[in-house]
């Protein structure tokens, strides 16, 4: 054949194969098979054509046709395992996962090449979403090589998805040396188990290898009684020093009738504490005074997300944007005040704030301490959670609401208040509905002291992570270690929000956690008529419940020491009749409190915004000593 004709025919076949790839990646395996068959006919030596034909026939479910294609493909690979493995790698890199797996299975028949081939099969199966097949191949690899790191990673992920946290931990611990991702997996798993001391060590080790895990480590510190508030602050300051100081953009000159343009950035415009606490403020604001421009880094939208969209003056999804791109968008929107709603919690965009896209930047609502950023001008809180004597723990200037930091909007689907259960069952039932990460070993020790002195009482723990058997076993063991019979415990796992609220009918008295107290869970308990005993701790994280209760006129349930916390709980044992009257009146008391006064809260918030402006402008605005 004329060489020029042969070259033209080769390019024709390659074009058909490329057409097949386009159909295959577009989810059209039938069309792909036709194109690959034509390519194979034009160039019978085309690896891409025969591999693509096998891949598309497998995707169609045409097993007989796939087998025919594979026999030709296998012949092209030759008889040696190393060549089959190498060809499998080439196909894998082209996205032909099924064809690669088939060749690697052939390579795995040679024991000398079995382990890498099986590991490759496991990785390719994961890419296809065939998790059970991936786990089977990884397990076969471990039989031959018990320390194979990739196999342990895959089996750790498989065990985690199957809710077997003990097995997940065992596999991830077997990866030696661990990389940052494995350490982060360990930290996340320990957090689900409520072991925040172990989680902190994992996240700190991950952050040493990959700095983007630093926020996870900083967040974990707040849950650990072993870490002092000053140590927490110093760690945040050290983190913030990595960002160079940037000049502040000039304030925009506003016309007298022009509203402030206020931006909010969050990863939690969804069913989350932010989804409960921010909408009342947005709904009650005077739109003539300030606009709300929401910048969403939210991963999974829900019904709460849609509500945020309706309340916003503008909505921008910044998840696909890097920090520089998002900063440019915010600058183009001429935002006057930019508010961070995440701090160092998951999904935060503090790197964006470090670029200083707005002239005034504030952190607010979802975090429990300083961001550590010099570019963050203000932090909003209240005097109970962040007393002035602790201002040295913040890079930001702290501005304080005269009342509570938050405003609670009870869900419309909240059930009516039920009678206290002790009236029906004859014994007092304590409860805790906080996340397991907050139910520290120190907290369990406090609870056990109460239960030991009131032997007829019972305890109900309800938290999403209690769906895991390993978490249930851990908490039963903790209580038993303090001499409390496990039969006195009821452990409830994940459920929908309406049912979680209905679970309050099981509880006479809620016991708060330390050193990280309940925020939203406290508000919900009070609304459901259940008093909450809390301990006023040594950090913002330990004072959420205290602030909410004091602002509701319920200071008698706030203990300033551990013994006061215990004594307060035991008082209900001595006089359980108090519970009936509390249950009947608590919702009305909360409804009449500042915690649910949206209009007052919105007014105070706007005054704080104006105060922030006054710091950097010559306007005749409130003096510095207001709201501080």
- Same domain? 389 vs 476: no
Question: Could you tell me if residue 442 is inside a domain?
Answer: yes
Which pLDDT score is estimated for 324?
Answer: 97
pLDDT over 90 percentage in the chain = 76
Q: What average pLDDT does the segment 45-64 reach?
A: 81
> Token digits for 612?
């922030």
pLDDT tens-digit readout, 188-215:
999 999 999 999 999 999 999 999 999 9
Cα distance between the two ends of the chain: 89
- Same domain? 397 vs 426: no
Which pLDDT score is estimated for 194?
Answer: 98
- Same domain? 154 vs 268: no
Using CB atoms within 10 A of its CB, is residue 286 exposed (0-12), middle (13-18) or buried (19+)?
exposed
Contact predicate 36/58, CB 8 Å:
no
> Token digits for 49?
């054509």
pLDDT over 70 percentage in the chain = 96
d(CA 293, CA 274): 15
Confidence tier at 58 by pLDDT (50, 70, 90): confident
Question: Could you tell me if residue 252 is inside a domain?
Answer: no
Alpha-carbon torsion, ordered 422, 428, 434, 436, to 10 deg: -130
d(CA 249, CA 356): 8
d(CA 590, CA 352): 38
- Same domain? 439 vs 588: yes
d(CA 529, CA 418): 8
pLDDT tens-digit readout, 83-107:
888 888 888 888 888 888 888 988 8
* DSSP per-residue letters across 51-74: HHHHHHHHHHT-HHHHHHHHHHHH
- Same domain? 445 vs 580: yes
Which pLDDT score is estimated for 625?
Answer: 46
pLDDT tens-digit readout, 306-345:
999 999 999 999 999 999 999 999 999 999 999 999 999 9
Q: Which domain holds residue 397?
A: 260-401
CATH number where 308 lies: 3.40.50.11380
- Same domain? 363 vs 457: no
Which pLDDT score is estimated for 10?
Answer: 54
H or E segment to which residue 277 belongs: helix 273-284
Contact predicate 590/584, CB 8 Å:
no
> Token digits for 585?
């009146």
Question: Could you tell me if residue 206 is inside a domain?
Answer: no
Confidence tier at 626 by pLDDT (50, 70, 90): very low
> pTM of the entire structure?
0.90
- Same domain? 364 vs 432: no
| H-state helical runs in 148-270 | 149-161, 165-173, 180-192, 196-209, 214-221, 229-240
> Is residue 269 predicted with pLDDT exceeding 80?
yes
| Cβ-proximal residues to 264 (8 Å cutoff; 6+ apart), any chain | 278, 292, 293, 294, 295, 339, 341
Which of 161, 179, 194 is a domain's end point?
161
Which pLDDT score is estimated for 1?
Answer: 44
> Is residue 74 predicted with pLDDT exceeding 80?
no
- Same domain? 538 vs 589: yes
Average confidence score pLDDT of the chain: 92
Question: Could you tell me if residue 541 is inside a domain?
Answer: yes
> Token digits for 351?
């790197």
- Same domain? 455 vs 356: no
Q: What average pLDDT does the segment 617-627 reach?
A: 49
- Long-range pairs for 33-41: beta carbons < 8 A, 24 or more residues apart: 33/57, 33/60, 33/62, 33/65, 39/13, 39/14, 40/13
Question: Could you tell me if residue 189 is inside a domain?
Answer: no
Confidence tier at 12 by pLDDT (50, 70, 90): low
What separation in angstroms does the CA of 322 have from each of 249, 286, 371? 20, 32, 20
Question: Could you tell me if residue 443 is inside a domain?
Answer: yes
CATH number where 492 lies: 3.40.50.2000
> Is residue 565 predicted with pLDDT exceeding 70?
yes
d(CA 276, CA 271): 7
Question: Could you tell me if residue 193 is inside a domain?
Answer: no
Looking at the 3D structure of the chain, how many domains does it have?
3
Which of 136, 161, 186 is a domain's end point?
161
Question: Could you tell me if residue 248 is inside a domain?
Answer: no
pLDDT tens-digit readout, 146-177:
999 999 999 999 999 999 999 999 999 999 99
Which of 161, 195, 211 is a domain's end point?
161
- Same domain? 373 vs 461: no
Q: What average pLDDT does the segment 229-242 reach?
A: 98
Residue 226's CB is within 10 A of a number of other CB atoms, namely: 12
> Token digits for 392?
């040295």
**226-235, 524-533, 538-547, 576-585: segment of lowest average pLDDT:** 576-585
Beta-strand (E) ranges in 297-436? 314-317, 337-340, 360-363, 378-382, 397-401, 429-432
d(CA 224, CA 547): 21
Q: What average pLDDT does the segment 507-535 reach?
A: 97
CATH number where 139 lies: 1.25.40.10
Which pLDDT score is estimated for 57?
Answer: 85
- Same domain? 136 vs 279: no
- Same domain? 156 vs 24: yes
């Amino acid at each position: 054949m004329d060489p020029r004709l042969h070259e033209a025919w080769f390019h024709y076949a390659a074009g058909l194969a490329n057409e097949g790839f386009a159909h295959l990646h577009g989810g059209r395996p039938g069309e792909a098979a036709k194109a690959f068959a034509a390519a194979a006919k034009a160039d019978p030596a085309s690896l891409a054509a025969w591999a693509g034909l096998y891949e598309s026939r497998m995707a169609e479910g045409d097993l007989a046709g796939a087998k025919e294609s594979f026999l030709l493909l296998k012949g092209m690979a030759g008889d040696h395992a190393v060549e089959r493995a190498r060809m499998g790698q080439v196909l894998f890199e082209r996205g032909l996962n099924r064809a690669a797996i088939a060749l690697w299975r052939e390579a795995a028949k040679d024991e000398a090449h079995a382990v890498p081939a099986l590991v490759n099969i496991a990785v390719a199966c994961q890419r296809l979403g065939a998790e059970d097949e991936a786990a089977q191949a990884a397990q076969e690899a471990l039989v031959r090589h018990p320390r194979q790191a990739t196999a342990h990673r895959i089996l750790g992920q498989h065990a985690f998805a199957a809710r077997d946290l003990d097995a997940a931990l065992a596999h991830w611990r077997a990866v030696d040396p661990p990389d940052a991702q494995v350490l982060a997996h360990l930290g996340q798993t320990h957090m689900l188990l409520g072991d925040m001391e172990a989680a902190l060590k994992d996240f700190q080790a991950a952050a040493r290898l990959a700095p983007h895990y630093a926020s996870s480590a900083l967040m974990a510190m707040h849950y650990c009684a072993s870490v002092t508030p000053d140590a927490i602050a110093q760690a945040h300051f050290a983190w913030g020093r990595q960002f160079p100081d940037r000049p502040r953009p000039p304030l925009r000159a506003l016309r007298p009738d022009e509203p402030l343009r206020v931006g909010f950035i969050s990863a939690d415009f969804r069913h989350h504490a932010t989804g409960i606490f921010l909408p009342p403020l947005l709904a009650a604001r005077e739109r003539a005074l300030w606009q709300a421009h929401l910048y969403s880094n939210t991963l999974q939208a829900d019904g709460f997300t849609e509500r945020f969209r309706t309340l916003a003056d503008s909505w921008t999804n910044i998840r696909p944007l890097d920090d520089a791109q998002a900063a440019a968008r915010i600058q183009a929107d001429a935002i006057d005040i930019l508010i961070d709603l995440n701090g160092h919690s998951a999904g935060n965009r503090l790197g964006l704030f470090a670029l200083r896209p707005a002239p005034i930047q504030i952190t607010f609502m979802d975090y429990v301490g300083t961001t550590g950023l010099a570019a963050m001008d203000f932090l909003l809180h209240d005097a109970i959670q962040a007393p002035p004597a602790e201002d040295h723990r913040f890079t930001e200037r702290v501005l304080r609401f005269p009342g509570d930091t938050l405003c609670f909007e009870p869900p419309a689907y909240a059930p009516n208040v039920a009678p206290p259960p002790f009236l029906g069952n004859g014994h007092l039932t304590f409860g805790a509905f906080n996340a397991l990460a907050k139910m520290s070993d120190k907290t369990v020790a406090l609870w056990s002291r109460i239960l030991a002195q009131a032997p007829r009482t019972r305890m109900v723990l309800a938290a999403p992570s209690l769906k895991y058997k390993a978490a249930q076993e851990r908490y039963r063991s903790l209580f038993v270690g303090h001499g409390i019979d496990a039969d006195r415990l009821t452990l409830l796992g994940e459920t929908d929000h309406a049912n979680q609220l209905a679970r309050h009918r099981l509880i006479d008295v809620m016991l708060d956690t330390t050193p990280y107290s309940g925020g939203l869970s406290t508000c919900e308990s009070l609304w459901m008529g259940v008093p909450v005993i809390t301990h006023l701790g040594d950090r913002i994280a330990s004072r959420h419940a205290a602030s909410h209760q004091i602002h509701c006129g319920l200071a008698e349930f706030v203990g300033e020491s551990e013994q006061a916390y215990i004594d307060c709980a035991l008082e209900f044992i001595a006089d359980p009749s108090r519970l009936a009257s509390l249950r009947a009146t608590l919702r009305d008391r909360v409804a009449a409190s500042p915690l649910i006064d949206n209009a007052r809260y919105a007014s105070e918030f706007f005054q704080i915004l104006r105060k922030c402006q006054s710091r950097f402008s010559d306007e005749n605005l409130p003096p510095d000593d207001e709201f501080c």
